[in-house]
Structure 1
Amino acid sequence: MSHTVIMTGATRGLGRVAAERILAGSPQTHLVLLARGGAGAGLAEELSRDGHAVTSIPADLLSLGSVRGAADEVAHRIDGGTLPPLRGLVGNAGLLYTDDVTQSPDGFEATFAVNVLANHALVRRLQDRFEAPSRIVITVSDAHFGDFRHNKGMMPGPSWQDPARMARTSAFPRPESTTAGGIAYATSKLAAVHLVHEYARRLPPGIDVIAYNPGFVPGTGLSREAGAAVRFVMRAVMPLATLTPIASTQQEAGQQLADVVLGRTAAGSGSYVDRTSEARSSAESYDAERERRLWEVAEELTGPFTR
């Protein structure tokens, strides 16, 4: 029986690989790509050539109005029968800015807007459209550990503050610095893990929510909003790390993400999957009071959820 899976971050990197593998592993999937500009439409046309059902709906994840509009369009098509029942959401899009001063159109810190608020708006806006069994997968990062073992010194650790403060620019010291941008990124990924825990508590039975960590995957386009020097290093130098055990290729990470989405990787709701198997996230990511507060702020900043 055909069903709908929505995906962000599918037009490049490991997401591009995962989109192909999801369709190959589940031919009954109707994949809906949410992407800016013509990138989603071009990919949908390309993936459809093999007989797969792929649809593109424009969405700018920096804009909550655009995210809500895309979610409403999905709901409208499901209700009208032009899309089959909703069984999956893959929140794979992510951004890393090299500062903590870049604003979204809504006035939020841009990294937090894409990595946290956009996913929350999609989950909540479409919550009543999911049919069990469903699987929501949010791509996170081991940057949320903040230690050398996981980050090899390439990323500063998270620095938790009240979510209402983190959602705004200049939440961290020397906000115009690359270090502040890295802290904002690591903290946003910690927030994403927290929200996965909270979704597991609040969403109806049969809707499983999983955090997937691909590890270090060079060349994904994550830093495409960074400066020219950083982009060069990430594009030309860091891919050499895939020759060592510390990094994964885009093909490896994309297949792993697809395996989580398709249920080939065993994982319960609220769990953290590290590449190929369920693992434990950082000790800091288990804090029910922090998760409750984050939920409250995300609800306030991304609502309302009625149509």
Structure 2
Amino acid sequence: MQDHPTVQDHTIVQDHPTVRDHTIVMTGASRGIGRIAAEHILRRSPGVHLLVVARGSSGAGLAEELSAGGHTVSHVPADLGSLSSVRSAAAEIRERLERGELPPLRGFVGNAGMQYTNALTEGPDGFESTFAINVLANHLFVRLLQDRFVAPARIVITASDTHFGDLRHNMGMVPGPLWQSPDVLARPGAFPRPDTAAGGRTAYSTSKLAAIHLVHEYARRLPAGIDAVAFNPGFVPGTGLLRNAGPVSRFAMRRVLPVMTLTPFATRPAAAGRHLADVVLGITEAPTGSYVDRTGTARSSEESYDPRREAELWDSAERFTAAYADLP
């Protein structure tokens, strides 16, 4: 695969009358960089209808908060660890688009991510929960909404430095990815010492590598005008990513590691959220299939460019989600 596929980049900022009123669907908007990005998107694109996907009843409160100042925000409930719940959310979005309750769909932001303290957590569909949330939920959303996107449109999937697996990018805090057959990766216990935090972190870095693989495959397979981009916010201390970690790790993430934002090795949440919004809105130019490292396109890891692996992962993701791909 080339560094960046050749399909032309499309900017969806609100300067053009044909894209002034449109819908962006976003997961992971309730906290951290997603919340900051959502606020930037709404301020800078007054014509956007932001549809947030959030768990349980939290979406209603989130939509109300983000609507302050006259912004247009609605919500759809979904548990991203459950593929049937993702299907229900996608079906509701499709119905609202078909009824004309939402303006044309021009964006999907798969920002929600989870890191567990082990690699044994199993979701209701039998998949390992890190893989289900960080990989399969996004894939099912993309596939179920694919024919409802109106070009120019942009899909943004939040990736991570951890997929490099080296000291420069991980600072020794997260083990690098350990790629295996998707049939193994998708199930609990795929990694050494799966009952430990190291196993859970390996599941996380591997899931982020998988996300980049799928972005490359989306760039090959999606219709022209629907771009797919992977976004790396850098290391961002102080977010809720480790909310399932132990008390020592949570304390370090909240109180100790934020000091690193004074160095080039980390990014402040406010900056990371702004960078994500720039990518979503097309302010940061990025051809389809690109990897955006904070403020500009860059090469992801050498391991991430593997067309054979990407095709295998696509086929597996299609198989894993097939039972949920038929809408009611």
Q: Distance in 2 between matches of 1:49 and 1:24?
A: 11
Residue 27 of structure 2 is aligned to residue 8 of structure 1: yes
> Could you say which residue in structure 2 is the equivalent of 1:165?
184
| Residue identity matched to 1:32 | L
Residue 305 of structure 2 is aligned to residue 305 of structure 1: no
> Could you say which residue in structure 1 is the equivalent of 2:17?
none
- TM-score w.r.t. length of structure 2: 0.92
For 1:70-109, what aligned pairs fall within 5 Å after superposition? 70-109=89-128
Deviations 1:204-247 (A, max 9, x none): 00000000000000111011122222222212221121122211
| Residue identity matched to 1:38 | S
| Residue identity matched to 2:319 | E
Q: Distance in 2 between matches of 1:181 and 1:47?
A: 33
Shift of 1:38: 2.7
- TM-score w.r.t. length of structure 1: 0.98
- Match of 1:281, SS state, is coil
Q: Distance in 1 between matches of 2:168 and 2:257?
A: 18
Residue 74 of structure 2 is aligned to residue 52 of structure 1: no
Deviations 1:105-135 (A, max 9, x none): 1111111110000000100010000000000
Q: Distance in 2 between matches of 1:148 and 1:158?
A: 13
Number of aligned positions between the proteins: 307
Deviations 1:42-72 (A, max 9, x none): 1210111211110011111000011110011
- Match of 1:126, SS state, is helix
> Could you say which residue in structure 2 is the equivalent of 1:221?
240
Moved more, 236-245 or 152-161: 236-245
Shift of 1:302: 1.2
> Could you say which residue in structure 2 is the equivalent of 1:208?
227
Task: From 184, 189, 198, give the equivalent of 1:179.
Answer: 198
Shift of 1:249: 0.8
Q: Distance in 2 between matches of 1:185 and 1:4?
A: 30
Q: Which has the higher relative contact order, 1 or 2, with Cα contacts under 8 A spaced 6 or more apart?
A: 2
Q: CA RMSD in A?
A: 0.9
Task: From 252, 263, 266, give the equivalent of 2:285.
Answer: 266
| Residue identity matched to 1:284 | E
Task: From 245, 248, 253, give the equivalent of 1:234.
Answer: 253
Question: Unaligned regions of 5+ residues in structure 2, if any?
Answer: 1-19
Identity of aligned residues (%): 64
- Match of 1:183, SS state, is helix
Task: From 143, 150, 158, give the equivalent of 1:124.
Answer: 143
Q: Distance in 2 between matches of 1:239 and 1:216?
A: 10
- Match of 1:197, SS state, is helix
Residue 69 of structure 2 is aligned to residue 35 of structure 1: no
Q: Distance in 2 between matches of 1:261 and 1:198?
A: 19
Task: From 268, 272, 293, give the equivalent of 1:253.
Answer: 272
Q: Distance in 2 between matches of 1:270 and 1:245?
A: 26
